[in-house]
Structure 1
Amino acid sequence: MELENSEEPPDRFKMVTIICLLQGVGVLISWHMFINAWDYFTDYKLCHINGTDKVPSPYVGYFMQYLTFTAQLPNVIFTFINAFVRIGGGLSFRILGSLSIVLAVFIFTLTLSFIEMENVGAFFWMTMCSVALMQVFNAIYQNSLMGMAAILPPWYIGYIIIGNNVCGTFTSITKLVSKSIGGNHKATAIYYFSTAIFVLVVCLVVLILLKLIRFYKYYLDVHTAYRHRSTFFSAHEPAQERPYWLLIKQTSTQLYNVFMTFMVTLTCFPAILSNIKSGDDNFFISTNYYGDVMCFLNFNVSAMIGSIVGGFYVFPKPRFIWIAVTIRIIFIPIFLFCNYTPPVPDEARRVGVLIYNDYVYLIFGMVHGFTCGYYTSACLMIIPGMVDKQYAHIAGMLGGVVLILGIFFGIMLAFLWPLIMWESV
């Protein structure tokens, strides 16, 4: 084709690279901001104040499971709708519209942090409804973004995955900085959620600029020539013209790898890891920062490094990756036999702790995070290249679908571990 024979314009100043990295941050910032704010909810907003004492409400014990389930159920439903049902307006409309609503929900969340509510139950359900609404539109944002990036060279999906993992590190560091300068849960939340709003505004602005960049327009035109019309600006292709079953068969091995990687990861993180306590009072991380550093910062930094390495080097060969991601199941019993402790005083472990050593937990946490980022980045970059070029954007969306399914099934499994490991006392 004439477009293919024309000279590819350069990605000047790496603008498209930067935009993909920023969108990778933006697409997961809502998820990371809420789960990193776990102590704002469990130690402050969801506690009854009795004089100088804080009494945990019934919502505290399973809060992380409630939060992650509420976030991911609408994410699963609307990811499927967005991938398999034709929604008017095209990808640009879906991305910009959904991102705007996610931004509005964060503004509402910030407003709630200023309000002192005595009715803990009302605050809990307002938070859950906000999270559900936000994730409906975040699912559309995320899945459409993967479809958009699939028309670019495959390493641009890698940049989005790197952005995903940078997001986790960024939010963890933001939480630590906000906590250190805030002094209390309310001030910390204000600094923390304000940062998220700023990032989402930046993502919205640069996404509008993307359509003006020659490098992106070149690949959009090449993709349009393959499909005879633009996917990004048009939404009129009948769903039945898309050979979903053929594409699933062609990419099935890597789809399994993405699913299994996220299922194991979300079974452990954050539900198990956020409830692992220090086994050594003299450990170099204080109790006040233990969960923030050992669970969230450790995982997110390791996953970020893994995603960067996975973008440049893949081991084992793609057809053998399924072995490595299946072996990752061993992380579940490893973390359960660390000092996994109930967050409420009327429950205790059924079985003893086998791994008290904080350094052992730290190392396993690093490997867990690294392998998550590594295999996610590698597999999602491989998927679009396994199908005919005109269907690369659909293959990218399928990768997004199984990613969300893996997260959801991992979260559902996370509900089992308190039932198995804890008992009332």
Structure 2
Amino acid sequence: MDNSDQESSTLLLSPSETSNAPKDRLKFVYAIFYLLGIGTMLPWNFFINGKHYFMYKLRNTTLPTNFTHYDEPKYETEFQVSFESYLAIAAMLPTVLFMFLNAVATRLIRLRIRMVIAAVTMILIFAVTLTFVILDTDRWQVEFFAITLVCIVIMNAASAVLQGGVFGLASMFPPKYSQSVMAGQGMGGTLAAVANIISIAATKNASQSGLFYFTIALVVLLMALVAYLVLPCIKFARYHTDRNFRQTISSNDEDNTVDTSEDLNSISFSGSNSTPLLRVFRMISKYAFSVSIIFFVTLACFPAITSSIAPALRKEGNRTVLVKDEWRRKYFTPVICFLLFNVFDLVGRTIAGFYQWPKFKSNLLPLFCILRIGFIPLFVFCNVQPRLYLVTYLFQNDVAPAVIMVFFALSNGYLSTLCMMYGPMNANEEDEETAGALMPFFLALGLSAGSFFSFLLLHYMI
């Protein structure tokens, strides 16, 4: 380890990282995990941020071709209204199922096989999505809607396997590499939000916006796959993933090149794990519960509730009306909801790499995770539209939802990263991959419960 790593915190060191360990020169392995983190969250981030494109594809085609207000409530089709709900269901259910199957598969299928198949599947699905961007689907919207949902199911199943594999792999390294994956996921969300805003501003129509948008996703996924295939060629990575290699390495060998005396394809990136899953869960239960609570609250609010917050109300005589100037109509939700969340979520995940509090095994961490439930009423009392049951507003300006969003995103990124770092540290060395694969399963469980609760909140309580 270099000096900057040693100064950050003793918590960032693992017992297996001894003085004879090769160095992660130029932070190359850290950067690979960062890129893999970006890749694991691309499907969710790009599909939820691509609302502008999907609203165009599912618009009322009887309106004039040059009509640009097709996403206003009075012109919306049933497909436009229901798309985000179907998106959440199509994304969350396969994510939870395949996260669990991936945790079980750590004992049955080599990690390399799982991750390569998952990445290639995601690349192919994005290629299909790009094809639909180019095609005119106005005459077969029902088929487009159905095929898109099928693609989302397959994409998120593959993404779950990839994400579980990446966290399982990162858990074999010092905890800062799990933080790198989390920070990469935050960067993936930020890139998606920025790309969406740029595509809206720089392109002439929603089709061009979608083409620009999904091409970026495809390129990043290809880069992530290549980076993963390079990983076994780095001595530092092999030291942490191959026990035999670690035992035979020379204490004076600090070169970061390939040892060509061994077949790289024989490295399994998997331990000889035989501990029952239930026992591994008990080791990490505090952090598994905490990360589930974090993402339950996050998905209860974001994006269903937060994207429904409209610009501030204003008075016109005795009437209260919504502000509908062009800038706010086009950019209020992309900026206040998606960009702010993803930027400050990334900030929180990055801070966790330099400073960890509450400390490992502290009971304050679960407490802070539970306290995040308070964000749900805070967002509900913003200007969420439409409102069917709850007519009370506490925050009737544009500043309040922005400020709430900043703290909401910071706490999500920071606390979730601590949980994902601490969880595998509580497991035995031979159980690290399984613990690392179980943690994202409980993360996904929180996501699914939160998305279901947001549906109830939006349609039956507000």
- TM-score for the superposition, normalised by structure 2: 0.84
Deviations, residues 181-223 of structure 1 (Å, cap 9, x unaligned): 1121111000000111110111111111111011101112238
Task: Measure how far apart 1:86 and its partner are.
Answer: 5.3
Distance 1:348 1:258 in 2: 32
Residue 80 (str. 1) matches residue 93 (str. 2): no
The answer for the alignment partner of 1:16 in structure 2 is 29
Is 1:304 the counterpart of 2:337? The answer is no
Query: Map of 1:92-241 to 2, 5 A cutoff?
Result: 92-117=112-137, 118-222=139-243, 233=268, 241=274
- Aligned equivalents of 1:136 and 1:5: distance in 2? 37
Task: Determine helix, strand or coil for the equivalent of 2:172.
Answer: coil
Corresponding residue to 2:39 among 3, 8, 26? 26
Shift of 1:39: 2.0
* Alpha-carbon distance in structure 1 between the residues aligned to 2:441 and 2:244: 22
- Rounded to whole Å, the distance in 2 between the matches of 1:383 and 1:213 is 26
| 1:396 equivalent among 400, 415, 436 | 436
One-letter identity of the residue aligned with 1:141: L
Structure 2: which 5+ residue stretches go unaligned?
Answer: 1-15, 248-264, 314-322
Letter in 2 for 1:360: A
Amino acid at match of 2:392: G
Query: 1:330: which partner in 2?
Result: 374
1:48 is matched with which residue? 60
For residue 244 of structure 1, report the CA deviation from its aligned partner.
Answer: 2.1
CA offset at residue 309 of structure 1? 1.2
In 2 relative to 1, CA 273–234 (structure 1 residues): closer, same or farther, beyond 3 Å?
closer
> Aligned residue pairs: how many?
410
Is the alpha carbon distance of 1:231 and 1:395 closer, same or farther for their aligned partners in structure 2, counting shifts above 3 Å? farther
Larger Rg belongs to: 2
**Partners of 1:421 and 1:267 in 2: CA distance:** 13
Task: Kindly indicate whether residue 111 of structure 2 is the aligned counterpart of residue 91 of structure 1.
Answer: yes
Instruction: Read off the aligned partner of 2:104 and give its amino acid letter.
Output: F
Residue pair 1:91, 1:232 contacting (<8 A) in 2 also? no
One-letter identity of the residue aligned with 1:233:
S
Answering whether residue 67 of structure 2 is matched by residue 39 of structure 1, we say no
The amino acid of 1:354's aligned partner reads L
Q: Which moved more, 1:314-323 or 1:205-214?
A: 314-323
Is the Cα–Cα contact under 8 Å of residues 33 and 171 in structure 1 kept in the other structure?
yes
**Match for residue 313 of structure 1?**
355
Contact 2:382 2:400 in 1 (8 A): no
Deviation of 1:88 (Å): 5.0
Are residues 148 and 224 of structure 1, via their aligned partners in 2, closer, same or farther at CA, if it must alter by over 3 Å? farther
The percentage of aligned residue pairs carrying the same residue is 30
Structure 1 residue 87, shift from structure 2 partner:
6.9
Pairwise CA distance, 1:73: 0.5
Q: What is the distance in 2 between the residues matched to 1:223 and 1:300?
A: 41
User: Counterpart of 2:417?
Assistant: 377
Aligned AA (2:363)? R
In the alignment, which residue of structure 1 is the partner of 2:305? Answer: 272
CA distance in 1, matches of 2:106, 2:240: 22
Contact 1:262 1:372 in 2 (8 A): yes
Greater shift, 350-359 or 331-340, is seen at 350-359
Q: Is the 8 A contact 1:72 1:408 kept in 2?
A: yes
Q: How far 1:84 sits from its partner (Å)?
A: 1.8
Change in Cα spacing, 1:219 to 1:366, as seen in structure 2 (3 Å) is same
Residue 91 of structure 1 and its aligned partner are, at CA, apart by: 0.5
The structural deviation recorded for 1:51 is 3.5
* Equivalent AA in structure 2 for residue 22 of structure 1: L
Instruction: Give the CA deviation at 1:255.
Output: 1.1
Is the aligned partner of 1:418 residue 2:430? no
Residue 250 of structure 1 aligns with an amino acid whose one-letter code is: M
1:217 and 1:193 mapped to 2: Cα distance? 34
CA contact (8 A) 2:39 2:220 kept: yes
Q: Is the 8 A contact 1:149 1:157 kept in 2?
A: yes
Gap change, CA 1:418 and 1:5, over 3 Å in 2:
closer
Relative to structure 2, which stretch is displaced further, 5-14 or 290-299? 5-14
The answer (yes or no) to whether the contact 1:89–1:233 under 8 Å persists in 2 is no
State the secondary structure of the residue aligned to 2:396.
Answer: coil
Change (3 A) 1:65 1:4: closer
Structure 2 residue aligned with 1:287, among 308, 329, 336? 329
- In the TM superposition, residue 232 of structure 1 has moved relative to its aligned partner by 5.9
Task: Give 2:185's aligned amino acid.
Answer: N
Counterpart CA distance in 1 for 2:140 and 2:198 is 29
Cα separation, partners in 2 of 1:121 and 1:386, compared to 1, 3 Å: same
Residues in 1 aligned to 2:269 and 2:239: alpha-carbon distance in whole angstroms: 17
Distance 1:91 1:231, change over 3 A: farther
* Cα gap change, 1:6 to 1:321, in 2 (>3 Å): closer
Per the alignment, in what secondary structure is the counterpart of residue 33 of structure 2? helix
**Aligned-partner residue type, residue 46 of structure 1:** L
The runs of 5 or more residues in structure 1 that have no matched partner are: none
Task: Report the RMSD for the aligned CA atoms in angstroms.
Answer: 2.4
- The Cα shift of 1:307 comes to 0.6
Q: Measure the CA separation in 1 of the matches of 2:375 and 2:353.
A: 24
Per the TM alignment, residue 152 of structure 1 is displaced from its structure 2 partner at its CA by 0.7
Could you tell me which amino acid in structure 2 is paired with residue 84 of structure 1?
A: V
Normalised TM-score (structure 1): 0.91
Distance 1:194 1:87, change over 3 A: farther
Contact 1:89 1:235 in 2 (8 A): no
Amino acid at match of 2:30: T
2:408 matched residue in structure 1: 368
Displacement of 1:350? 4.5
- Cα distance per residue 1:94-124 (max 9 Å; x no partner): 1111100100000100110111222322211
3-state SS of the aligned residue for 1:188?
helix
Whether 2:427 is the aligned partner of 1:407: answer no
Give the letter aligned to residue 150 of structure 1.
Answer: S
